[in-house]
């Protein structure tokens, strides 16, 4: 199968701390599977690439991957549903990730979840009804000295407070509606 639609792709640049958005039009799944056909052990790597490409694992891609790698479909579905790196539903335009690792937790990270939940009306794992924000929680990003850490679209925000977070969300919203007004 070929994904030909325009896809918003997130790529990490060399620092790993910022992602820039690339727009690609690709026969991407072919490219991803190329060289890994009939190699069941490549399943996770392939799904990682699909996730990076699409932001989630579309159902059709699982069917293709199952055929191409020679892994039973149930196993593909199982792997995709087991690991946190994979999402089975598309995420919102902006992804807010709140770290709830121990270091961030002891510095009050739970309040960030309260803030997001109150402000956007979604609990972790959810997407706002306008599709603008998806809220996720993660257990440690390895930047614990900066806790509480919140990541918005790949950019790390350190020593977060509910107030900073609320402003951040507002600014993203404002930028988005401006962008739409101009479009």
Residues found near ligand FES in the complex (CB under 6 A): 99, 101-104, 140-144, 147, 149
Q: With binding defined as CB under 8 A, does residue 95 bind other proteins?
A: no
- CA distance linking residue 171 with residue 22, whole number of Å: 22
Q: With binding defined as CB under 8 A, does residue 110 bind other proteins?
A: yes
Instruction: Give me the least distance between CB of 108 and ligand FES, in Å please.
Output: 12
- CA distance linking residue 52 with residue 29, whole number of Å: 11
The one among 119, 152, 172, 176 contacting other proteins by CB under 8 A: 119
Q: With binding defined as CB under 8 A, does residue 28 bind other proteins?
A: no
Nearer to other proteins, 30 or 158 (CB): 158
Q: Which residue, chain included where needed, has tokens 């440690």?
A: 140
- Asked if residues 117 and 171 have their Cβ atoms less than 8 Å apart, the reply is no
Instruction: Give me the least distance between CB of 158 and other proteins, in Å please.
Output: 5
Distances from the Cα of 74 to the Cαs of 46, 59, 60, 142, 183, in angstroms? 16, 12, 13, 33, 43
Q: With binding defined as CB under 8 A, does residue 21 bind other proteins?
A: no
29 binds, among ligand FES, other proteins, none (CB under 5 to 8 A by kind): none
- Asked if residues 104 and 144 have their Cβ atoms less than 8 Å apart, the reply is yes
Residues 6 or more apart whose CB falls under 8 angstroms from that of 12 comprise: 18, 19, 154
Return the residue nearest ligand FES (CB atom).
Answer: 101
The DSSP H or E segment spanning 10 is strand 6-12
Nearer to ligand FES, 9 or 143 (CB): 143
Q: With binding defined as CB under 8 A, does residue 16 bind other proteins?
A: yes
158 binds, among ligand FES, other proteins, none (CB under 5 to 8 A by kind): other proteins
9 binds, among ligand FES, other proteins, none (CB under 5 to 8 A by kind): none
Question: E strands along 18-174, which residues?
Answer: 19-25, 94-99, 133-138, 150-152, 155-157
Q: With binding defined as CB under 8 A, does residue 183 bind other proteins?
A: no
Q: With binding defined as CB under 8 A, does residue 104 bind other proteins?
A: yes
């Amino acid at each position: 199968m070929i994904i030909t639609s325009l896809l918003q792709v997130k790529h990490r640049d060399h620092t790993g701390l910022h992602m820039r958005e690339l727009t690609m039009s690709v026969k991407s799944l072919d490219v991803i599977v190329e060289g890994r056909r009939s190699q069941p052990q490549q399943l996770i790597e392939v799904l990682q690439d699909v996730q990076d490409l699409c932001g989630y694992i579309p159902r059709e891609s699982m069917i293709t991957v199952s055929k191409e790698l020679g892994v039973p479909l149930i196993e593909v579905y199982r792997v995709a549903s087991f690991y946190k790196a994979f999402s089975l539903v598309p995420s919102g335009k902006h992804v807010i990730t709140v770290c709830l690792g121990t270091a961030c937790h002891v510095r009050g990270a739970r309040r960030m979840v309260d803030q997001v939940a109150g402000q956007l009306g979604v609990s972790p794992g959810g997407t706002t009804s306008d599709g603008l924000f998806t809220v996720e929680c993660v257990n440690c990003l390895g930047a614990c000295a900066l806790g509480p850490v919140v990541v918005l679209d790949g950019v790390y925000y350190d020593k977060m407070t509910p107030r900073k977070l609320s402003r951040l969300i507002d600014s993203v919203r404002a930028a988005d509606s401006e962008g739409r007004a101009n479009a």
